[in-house]
Amino acid sequence: MNVIGIIGAMEEEVNQLKDKMTEVKVRSKAGMDFYEGLFQERKCIIVRSGIGKVNAAVCTQILIDDFGVELVINTGIAGSLKAEINIGDMVIATDTLQHDVDATGFGYAGGVIPRMKTSIFQTEDTLNRLAYDVCVKANPDIQVFRGRVVSGDQFISEKEKKNWIAEQFKGYCTEMEGAAIGQAAYLNNIPYLVIRAISDKADDSAHMDYGKFEEKAIEHTVKFIEALVPVLK
């Protein structure tokens, strides 16, 4: 990979990453600041997309069109959909889908995007396995999982909705950007990775957990990215 795009959803996360860059140039587009430079001696563009699927997809397309990235890495925070995935753990996406796509009125299953060949956006197996191995070594104090990440323009904080998403879509965690990035990467035929640090349990305790664990989740993510970028080929 000659040019790597790294998309973060939160300002605090992106600030820690861009502060580790050298030879930095900043370009602004669509309300986003793209930091282009060297990260771990690799050419990277680091940007905060903002929250939600539209922001994430627009950001991904700009990275592809304007910066010629050959891999998109998306970091962020998510709510766990499995009892064994705890606050502070991390999930590496094997694939992504959008849980809030609903064309059932036209006869499609939930989550299916009409007139597309697929609505499940795979990450390359070799990449997600490499990411898993790197994350385990970089963060030995937490559990790391490989599995499906599901996305929607909703912050999930009710147990009933969490259980429905988990049962319907078999996800490991839920968040608001990853599958939009996956769809943009799929349409442009480039690889992508989604990594999520778990900050809450996506249930009635979500409002209590988020602020308390955000800082630790970002710390784990930054350690992971620092270890991953140098070994990408």
Q: Could you give the residue numbers annotated as active site?
A: 13, 200
Asked if 199 contacts 217 with a C-beta cutoff of 8 angstroms, the reply is: yes
Residues forming beta bridges with residue 150, ordered by sequence position: 97, 174
**Whole-angstrom Cα distance, residue 135 to residue 96?**
19
What's the 3-state SS for the chain?
A: CCCEEEEECCHHHHHHHHCCCEEEEEEEECCEEEEEEEECCEEEEEEECCCCHHHHHHHHHHHHHHHCCCEEEEEEEEEECCCCCCCCCEEEEEEEEECCCCCHHHCCCCCCCCCCCCCCEECCHHHHHHHHHHHHHHCCCCCEEEEEEEECCCCCCCHHHHHHHHHHHCCCEEECCHHHHHHHHHHHCCCEEEEEEEEECCCCCHHHHHHHHHHHHHHHHHHHHHHHHHHCC
**Whole-angstrom Cα distance, residue 156 to residue 81?**
10
User: How many CB atoms lie under 10 A from the CB of residue 180?
Assistant: 26
